């Protein structure tokens, strides 16, 4: 079984196909999903979708929504991070891609949520885009608070991957790895040790080849795993097995939930 470790199945683009997506988890090669959140609204709907036996969720405020972080949001997180279906804090991080005016606020909101993850003994799903140097600094300064962290939708090169691995982080790979011009990413995947790699779709975005024109969905995690297998010279079955094992180790509350199915 494969696990889609980052899939926004509660996104409005997938609303019509959600019943089919959930049903398919029972028979497909991809048998479980972790649904991360990016604002208060999605955190609330993640909790609902995570009631499904094959879905777990993460709660958190995405860096692009950092201005939304206030006392009400924090109260919500404090009330719900202990829920049995919440397996991580996320997605949180730094994203300087669209403008640089909120850098300071992004860092503040990130650190605050790292503290919450520590309080609840949860691992963290990080979103990092065009902000590597500041991200490295935040991780170094808060290392003792981070139980485990994964950089989701990794799009860096080997040098960045090495720094993340040195910091003890996991790296999660999306369909970007199947895109023609992403040679540097494929090179980076070569150096990620098998016990530090996970697979995801980041659905509804980033649909892997050859389905790029379609809306992404959890079953396409298989295309990501197949590509990782090809790059690493392994067979797909062993990549399925090792990445799923990694997900159970990383999201340690997941066993308590999926173990029952």
Binding site for Zn ion (CB under 5 A): 91, 127, 202
Q: How far is CA 57 from CA 44, 51, 101, in A?
A: 10, 9, 30
The CA distance from 32 to 53, in Å, is 9
Q: Which is nearer to Zn ion, 127 or 257 (CB)?
A: 127
CB of 200 to Zn ion, least distance (A): 8
CB of 14 to Zn ion, least distance (A): 13
Q: Annotate 175-214 with b (16+ C-beta within 10 A) or e (fewer).
A: bbbbbeeeeebbebbeebeeebbbbbbbbbebbbeeeeee
Q: Which is nearer to Zn ion, 77 or 153 (CB)?
A: 153
Residues β-bridged to residue 30: 2
Query: φ, ψ for residue 80 (rounded to 5)?
Result: -120, -15
* Angle CA 130–35–257, to nearest 5: 135
Q: Which is nearer to Zn ion, 52 or 127 (CB)?
A: 127
CB of 58 to Zn ion, least distance (A): 10
Give the residue at shortest CB distance from Zn ion.
Answer: 127
Q: Which is nearer to Zn ion, 60 or 236 (CB)?
A: 60
CB of 6 to Zn ion, least distance (A): 6
CB of 122 to Zn ion, least distance (A): 17
CB of 152 to Zn ion, least distance (A): 6
Q: Which is nearer to Zn ion, 67 or 259 (CB)?
A: 67
Q: Which is nearer to Zn ion, 4 or 202 (CB)?
A: 202
Q: Which is nearer to Zn ion, 37 or 229 (CB)?
A: 37
CB of 91 to Zn ion, least distance (A): 5
């Amino acid at each position: 079984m494969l696990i889609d470790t980052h899939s926004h199945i509660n996104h409005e683009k997938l609303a019509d196909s959600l019943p089919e997506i959930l049903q398919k988890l029972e028979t497909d090669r991809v048998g479980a999903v972790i649904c991360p959140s990016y604002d208060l609204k999605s955190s609330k709907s993640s909790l609902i979708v995570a009631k499904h036996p094959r879905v777990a969720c993460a709660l958190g405020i995405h860096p692009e929504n950092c201005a939304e972080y206030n006392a009400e949001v924090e109260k919500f997180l404090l009330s719900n991070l202990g829920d049995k279906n919440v397996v991580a804090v996320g997605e949180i991080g730094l994203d300087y891609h669209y403008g640089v005016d909120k850098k300071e606020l992004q860092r503040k909101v990130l650190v605050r949520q790292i503290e919450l993850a520590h309080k609840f003994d949860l691992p963290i799903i990080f979103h990092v885009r065009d902000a590597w140097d500041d991200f490295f600094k935040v991780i170094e300064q808060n290392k003792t608070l981070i139980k485990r962290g994964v950089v989701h939708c990794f799009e860096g090169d080997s040098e960045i991957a090495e720094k993340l691995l040195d910091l003890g982080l996991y790296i999660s790979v999306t369909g970007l790895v199947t895109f023609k011009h992403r040679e540097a990413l494929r090179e980076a995947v070569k150096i990620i040790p098998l016990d530090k790699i996970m697979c995801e779709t980041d659905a509804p975005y980033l649909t892997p080849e050859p389905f790029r024109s379609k809306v992404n969905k959890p079953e396409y995690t298989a295309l990501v795993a197949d590509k990782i297998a090809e790059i690493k010279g392994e067979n797909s079955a062993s990549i399925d097995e090792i990445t799923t094992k990694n997900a159970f180790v990383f999201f340690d509350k997941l066993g308590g939930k999926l173990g029952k199915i």
